[in-house]
């Protein structure tokens, strides 16, 4: 279940916090090697470095734990800052001022990290941290703002006076970001509703057209009539495909779009997709082969992923291979390198191939390869764009190996799942 929750965490945010935690751990280690000035730092700096390293390691394995892990480590960081300032207030020499200067420059980073990692919860944590600073100042100095003659007390007082402005500014930016995200989501939802209505209004008469075409086919008696009916049927089918691709691509642009992971028998899913395309492959005289681990293998069973999206990715890749393979074969392969390793899906064809300079462009929307050897290879140019966008949303990687005249080899590497 935790893996399912992990799918809802934005991958970029998790990676940012993971690497930031790792950098903090490395920074703490470097500070320890350079030497520490107070007993408080000699205990807490290596301890915090170890904790941030642990957070990075746990986020690598369990992204779903993002919020509790970050909240916990930031709470301990707050304790470190408050204690460090108290220790510095007892040292009226250059060492105390140095400790205060260090705390001042890192305090802003603490607030920024909280708002980036925790969102709305960060506001509560930051004000609790500031309340702790006020309490420690009152305990140490009382309710009096110290003058410049007490350099440490005066510096601490100035530091406290500047903190609320930083918290309020970050809270305002965070709130503004949430409002912009809500506006963007509403815009996408409005666009989806419009496309859904348009698709319904077009598909209803389209189904009537397809039904009428079947009736005409029963009445046709000459080869020219059959060819004309077949052209009408192909045009209607292409229109239906265009509508489906445009609707799906638009839906993927919505930031509120979410995966629906569950336990999937990936071997059964891949075989089912191949069986679906077998009639189309046979009509084009293309050999479609599905290569899977032995039936007694457990490597592809109980994969935690969104089966519908994997089916869509694989279907688009096979459909693309059929479109650009005038003759020969298509191989669909699913494998897993190790029992806990990533899942690898491959679609290999003997088609026309793709020039190296086109490898990036084919994943862009509305891009189609034009080749004189392919007749009737029409489409919306969204099939591979949908594959790339779905893979990005799932945290998967898509690789292409192809040369003109030597076919294409698409590989989708799904991230390590349960």
**Could you tell me if 17 and 59 are in contact, meaning their C-beta atoms sit under 8 angstroms apart?**
yes
In tens, the pLDDT along 135-144 reads 888 887 777 6
Q: Distance (Å, rounded) from C-alpha 332 to C-alpha 345?
A: 8
Half-sphere exposure of 414 (CA within 13 A, CB side): 25
pLDDT of residue 340: 66
Average predicted confidence (pLDDT) for the chain: 80
pLDDT of residue 392: 86
Q: Residues 41-66: what's their mean pLDDT? A: 86
Ranges 192-206, 307-321, 384-398: which has the least confidence: 192-206
Q: How confident is the model at residue 287 (pLDDT cuts 50, 70, 90)?
A: very high
CB atoms within 10 A of CB 304: 18
> Structure tokens of 7?
């799918």
> Structure tokens of 95?
């060492």
Q: What angle is formed at CA 352 by the lines to CA 349 and CA 357, rounded to 5 degrees?
A: 105
Q: Where are the beta strands (DSSP E) in 128-284?
A: 262-264
pLDDT at 390 over 80: yes
Q: Distance (Å, rounded) from C-alpha 40 to C-alpha 88?
A: 10
CB atoms within 10 A of CB 77: 21
pLDDT at 418 over 50: no
CB atoms within 10 A of CB 212: 12
Q: Residues 28-44: what's their mean pLDDT? A: 78
User: Whole-prediction pTM value?
Assistant: 0.54
pLDDT of residue 409: 94
pLDDT of residue 147: 56
pLDDT of residue 148: 53
Ranges 97-111, 293-307, 366-380: which has the least confidence: 366-380
Residues facing 344 on adjacent strands: 335, 413
Nearest Cα to 336, choosing from 325, 324, 326, 346? 346
Q: Distance (Å, rounded) from C-alpha 383 to C-alpha 347?
A: 14
What is the 8-class DSSP label of residue 330?
Answer: E
């Amino acid at each position: 279940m935790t893996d399912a929750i992990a799918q809802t965490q934005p991958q970029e945010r998790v990676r940012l916090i993971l690497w930031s935690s790792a950098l903090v751990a490395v920074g703490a280690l470097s500070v320890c090697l350079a030497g520490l000035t107070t007993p408080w730092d000699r205990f807490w700096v290596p301890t915090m470095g170890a904790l941030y390293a642990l957070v990075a390691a746990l986020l690598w394995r369990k992204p779903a734990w993002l919020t509790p892990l970050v909240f916990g480590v930031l709470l301990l960081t707050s304790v470190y800052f408050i204690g460090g300032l108290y220790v510095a207030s007892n040292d009226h020499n250059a060492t105390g001022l140095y400790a205060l200067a260090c705390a001042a420059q890192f305090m802003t980073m603490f607030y920024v990290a909280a708002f980036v990692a925790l969102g709305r919860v960060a506001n509560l944590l930051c004000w609790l941290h500031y309340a702790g600073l006020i309490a420690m100042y009152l305990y140490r100095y009382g309710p009096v703002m110290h003058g410049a003659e007490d350099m440490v007390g005066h510096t601490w007082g100035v530091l406290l006076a500047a903190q609320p402005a930083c918290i309020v500014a970050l809270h305002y930016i965070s709130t503004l970001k949430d409002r912009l995200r809500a506006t963007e989501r509403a815009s996408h939802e409005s666009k989806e509703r419009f496309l859904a209505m348009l698709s319904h209004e077009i598909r209803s008469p389209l189904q009537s057209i397809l039904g009428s075409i079947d009736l005409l086919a029963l009445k046709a008696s000459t080869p020219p009539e059959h060819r004309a009916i077949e052209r009408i049927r192909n045009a209607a089918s292409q229109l239906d495909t265009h509508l489906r691709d445009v609707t799906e691509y638009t839906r993927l642009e919505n930031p509120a779009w979410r995966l629906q992971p569950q336990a999937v028998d990936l071997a059964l899913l891949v075989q089912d997709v191949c069986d679906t395309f077998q009639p189309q492959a046979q009509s084009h005289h293309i050999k479609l082969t599905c290569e899977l681990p032995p039936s007694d293998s457990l490597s592809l069973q109980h994969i935690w992923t969104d089966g519908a999206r994997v089916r869509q990715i694989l279907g688009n890749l096979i459909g693309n291979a059929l479109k650009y393979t005038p003759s020969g074969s298509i191989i669909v392969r699913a494998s897993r390198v190790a029992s806990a390793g990533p899942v690898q899906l491959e679609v290999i064809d003997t088609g026309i191939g793709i020039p190296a300079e086109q490898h990036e462009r084919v994943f862009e929307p509305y891009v189609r390869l034009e080749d004189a050897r392919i007749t009737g290879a029409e489409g919306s140019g969204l099939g591979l764009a949908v594959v790339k966008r779905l893979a990005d949303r799932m945290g998967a990687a898509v690789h292409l190996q192809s040369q003109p005249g030597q076919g294409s080899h698409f590989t989708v590497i799904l991230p390590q799942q349960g």
